[in-house]
Each structure stands twice: as C-alpha cells, then as structure tokens.
Chains A and B, each alone.
Chain A
C-alpha cells in the first residue's frame, strides 16, 4: 500500500509545522523520518491518522481506512495507574474485529498471546501494566501493534528512553514487518539505527530537505541544511504565497 503526501501544509496558530511537503513513502518498506526538533515529524504522522487537519494539500492513504493504521504516539499518554492487565492491553489491538461492543474471538486471544510471546513477555500476560518497566511496557505496545495486523505502521520516536537490549529486540520486529510487506514509517533520532534498519529516509525541516535511499539522504550537507532551516521562525511572518503562485501558473 502506498502513502502519498501532496503539497501538504499543516500549521499551528497559522505558523506552518509542515510546509508544502510532497512525496511518496515506499510501499511495503520502512522509511525513517528524521530532522531537528520542531521539524514537523510528529505532525505528519498525526495528520495521517486524521488527528490534525491539513491547511492545504492532503494525505492519500491509497484507499486504506484509518482502522488499518497502527499508530504508536510519542510517549503514549496511557494511564498506567489503572489496574488493566498486560493481556487486555494487547487484546485491544483486535479493535478492528471486535469494535466497541463485539466479543473477542478465540483467534484474537491467540494472536494476543502469540504477540506477547514474540516480544518476550509471554509470562507477563496476567500482570497489571503498572508493574512493568518502561522498556517492558514499550514491548507491550509493540505486541499490540502486531495484533492490529495493519498494513501501515506509524511509530513516533518509539525508542526514546528505551534501553539498548529492548531497542534491538523491537527493531528486529520492524525488520520482520518489512519482510511481511508492511509499510513502516518511524520518527527517529538515532542515525545509526536509521542506517541499519531503514532503507528509506525522509529528512524534514518543515519542508523536505531530502527524501530517498538512506545513504543518499543522511549526508553532512543535508543535515546542516536541515538544522539551519528550522531556526527560522518569526512572530510577524508574512502570509505564504506559494499556493497563489501555483494557482496563477495553472491559469491559461
């Protein structure tokens, strides 16, 4: 499945966080989105799931509905003080099948158990989530993504504050998802991870700095351009005229 951004602009209080971004994510492969803080990386993911509305342009999901996207937000705001079990958390990944009111099928339970085993937490099914460490909990959230069985997987800084061992295990899952022809898009900061596990990279600083094979994107020159770009921010910025110019050109 292909995800295409066409002339996408998303702004907060009129200031664009993502500015006239166009391009296509490689279908069935893994793309990393990198760039400095404030470059609009999370904004692109949030627009894909429909949580933010574009000011201009659009996200084309290739006919896939929102229910077929698995999205792991940055520092998920999950209330872990509630006495919910690990297995129940993973089982919510089967929402597409059971919805708000339907029963979980036998295969949903099985999928949840299998996913927990795959992330190395098979023994933890009945524990409350409050008893887990941050790394273990991230494993639980990856297990839920496996149960969601989605063709498009969005990860927003999934390895921040996660130890090396856990990161390594979870990156193996990302590799497995690529082998299963799923499209994975992850916001990351560790270039070594990106080079090793992500064949494609989008380098962003509100606008596309470079987008393509990772080795060609992550060059010193590109990275410098990216960090210079984000520094521009003016309270009194003029209104953007890019769309006006495009409209004039289109007229006969």
Chain B
C-alpha cells in the first residue's frame, strides 16, 4: 500500500510542477479526446497532424516579437492554423485540388516558414521548446488557457453535436434538409486549432496531435456507440496524461513523448486485446449461432 502511494500519489503531493502538469494534462485530455474522435469519424485523422504543423510559423512569429510568451505564441499559432485551414478549404472548394492534397501543400509551406523563422531568429534550444514543449513548465496563465479552451470545446461540441455527427454520417441528407454543413465544419476546424494551441505549450506542436489522435483511434477498438467512443477517448486521454507524467517522473524521461508513448502503448495493447476490433478476440473461434 505504501509503495503504491509512493509510486502513484507522492510525486504530485511533493512537487508543485507535477501537480500543475497533471491538471494541464487532464484539462487537455477533456478537450482533445472528443475532438480527436470527431477527426477520426470524419476521416480527417491526418488533417490534425497537418494543422499541428501549420500552427508552428504563427508560434514562431509570436516568439520573435515577444520571446517565450504563451499568449503571443498562442495567438500567432491560432491565426496561422486557422489561416491554413481556411485557405486549404477554399482552394479545394474552388479548384480541382482535393482537400487532403491542398492541406498537405499548405502545411508543408507553413512548416518550412516556421522552421526558417525560428532558426533565423531563435536559438536551437528555443526551437526544441516550441517543437516538443514541456508540460512540467506550464505556469498558472498556461493552465488557465488550457482549461478555458477545454471548457469552450466541450460546450461547443455539446451544442453542435447533432449536425456535426450527421455531417460525418450522411452529409447529403444534411444538405437536403437545408442545414449548412459547411458552417459546422468550420466551427469544428476552429476547435481543432484551438486544442492544438492548448496542447503545444504542454506537449509541443508536434506532440500535441498525439494526445488528440491516439486515444480517439484506440476508442474505436473498444466502444460500439458514438457516446461510448467519446467517453472511452476521454478516459484513455486522461489515463495517458497521468500514466505518462508518472513514467516521466520515475524514469526521468521528457514528459511530452512519455505521455504520447503511454497513449501509443494503450493503442498497441488495444490492437491485440480490444473486444470490438482487436486481433486476439478475432482469433478465438466461436461457433456460429443458429440464426
């Protein structure tokens, strides 16, 4: 019992930075889990990745003007992410370039601009900070931002849940009843970018998308309903935050990758054992029913 306490609880009792890191991760998980699940259901799993790269140049510009300031970098990242999402969406609507291709084109542009800016104006240590973040250095302002974004995300998703889900499931029907699927798609993209911005301080721009996608992809292997998948994704994201932080503390690992690797391990385990899509349950031969 005592050992369990030392293993799981003591790090958070003893150190303030661990407590803040934990609160940050839990708040992130609440927002990122559902957002990731909607990305998966809309077959946009890789768009999240593209957008996370797109956030970088904005964060770099913020960094050049204000140094390592979260509001400046966050605002810059948000503007850059939204711009790439909008321009890519418009290009695919008005030219013959498909949406995934135009996303790829614009995020590559944005990524190279970002890396260029940071290497020209910042030291490499700063670049690493932007790319990989550090959850153990989040201050109260950052926590407030992450918590606000998580709350806004959950409230907005609750409001637009039905049209957003229907737009993934049967877009032609939504159009035929005269509802504007595009508007909900746009609101959703704003939420994606907001959550990436929330994630980059704690996990870095490249890692933020991991907490979004891995729990969501894993959830599909466990749950058989949309509501069930949402709760599973959140639960998996929460436990990845907690488990990753503890691993990073006990084994002296960088926190961002530890959290994402923890989520990744849950995914690999689920691939093997999950009842709804795992490999092993499929191998167990069950005799077929009479009808």
A residues engaging B (CB < 8 A)? 49-51, 65-67, 69-71, 73, 76-79, 82-85, 89, 92, 95-96, 99-101, 128, 144
Contacts and interface: CB of A to CB of B under 8 A. Distances in A.
Contacts of B179: 95, 99-100
B225 to A, nearest CB: 5
Given A85-B225, A92-B170, 16 more contacts: A51-B176, A65-B178, A66-B176, A66-B177, A67-B177, A67-B178, A76-B170, A77-B171, A77-B172, A78-B169, A79-B169, A83-B224, A83-B225, A84-B169, A92-B173, A100-B163
A76 B178 CA distance: 17
14 contacts: A71-B172, A73-B172, A78-B169, A79-B168, A82-B165, A83-B224, A83-B225, A83-B229, A89-B170, A92-B166, A92-B170, A96-B177, A101-B162, A144-B173
For the complex, would chain B's binding face be called helix, strand, loop or mixed by DSSP majority?
A: helix
Contacts of B228: 83
Contacts, number: 66
For the complex of A and B, 7 pairs with smallest distance between CB atoms? A71-B176, A100-B163, A66-B178, A95-B177, A78-B170, A73-B172, A83-B225
A198 B149 CA distance: 56
For the complex, would chain A's binding face be called helix, strand, loop or mixed by DSSP majority?
A: loop
B125 interface: no
Nearest to B228: A83
Nearest to A77: B172
B176 A49 contact: yes
Interface of B: 41, 43, 159-160, 162-163, 165-166, 168-173, 175-179, 184, 223-226, 228-229
Contacts of B165: 82, 84
A89 B170 CA distance: 9
Nearest to A85: B225
Given A95-B179, A101-B162, A83 B168 contact: no
Which of A49, A69, A83, A99 gathers most chain B CB within 10 Å? A83
A92 B163 CA distance: 10
Which of A78, A95, A101 gathers most chain B CB within 10 Å? A95
Nearest to B170: A78
A76 to B, nearest CB: 6
A82 B169 contact: yes
